[in-house]
Structure 1
Amino acid sequence: MARELTKVVYKPDTQKTEEYIIIVNPTEYKKWSEGDRSIPLAEVVDSFQVFYSTSGNQGLLGQASKQQLENDFGSSKDVDVVEIILKKGRDQPGDAISRQTFVTNAARGSAVIDNKGKGLTGI
């Protein structure tokens, strides 16, 4: 079963490429961003994990350190940081993901046939 994802991306400084990203539930986020603050943040966000990227939101994502959060948000408390990102960030809908998208057996290899010097008998 596929599940929709939406990222909310916040860039504290327009002159830099660093961005903070959180994953949200799209329907709850839409209601929350339209002013329905009665929805608990735990239902709006997928998790309170704040991701950080130095190469834009399409690059590799790592978890933001407490020091980075203190420097850019004035707090390292996850609830405070997530709320700021939700208020000031922009949403970026993503594709649905499903279990069939990923290969779960790494032992299958890369599915590349190497027949250098062996002909097809060595396969």
Structure 2
Amino acid sequence: MPDKAARTVIYKPDPHGPEYLVFVDDVVEYERWKAGDRSIALALIIGKFAIYSAPKGHTGPLNEVSRQEIENVFFGGENNVKDKSVE
């Protein structure tokens, strides 16, 4: 039986800044997507399209990130927010 356990993907762009988290619902599909199969819709992998910040580490309280913070942290490179948030 495939592993369907949820997983947390953590992105920390700055060693002194907050961590950003996305919750992945389907680990098997996420691993296929991460390996390069971009035909998999992110809606199958992520149940809720929300990014959370953890100012005190991923074991502390989580805050849903505002659109402005998403734009500031995730945009600016060649990747778009949906790719950066789960890679």
Q: TM-score, normalised by structure 2?
A: 0.81
Pairwise CA distance, 1:81: 2.1
Task: Tell me, in whole angstroms, the C-alpha distance in 2 between the residues paired with 1:69 and 1:21.
Answer: 12
Match of 1:86 in 2: 86
Contact 1:53 1:61 in 2 (8 A): yes
Match of 2:44 in 1: 43
Structure 1 unaligned runs (5+)? 88-123
Moved over 6 A (4+): none
Cα-to-partner distance string for 1:31-54 (whole Å, 9 max, x where unaligned): 111111110111121211111110
Q: Which of structures 1 and 2 has the bigger CA Rg?
A: 1
Higher relative contact order (CA 8 A, sep 6+): 1
| Identity of matched residues, % | 35
Q: Secondary structure at the match of 2:53?
A: strand
Q: CA RMSD in A?
A: 1.7
What pairs with 1:1-123 in structure 2 (closer than 5 Å)? 4-14=5-15, 16-24=16-24, 25-74=26-75, 80-87=80-87
Task: Tell me, in whole angstroms, the C-alpha distance in 2 between the residues paired with 1:58 and 1:82.
Answer: 23
Pick closer, same or farther for the CA change 1:58–1:82 going to 2, 3 Å. farther
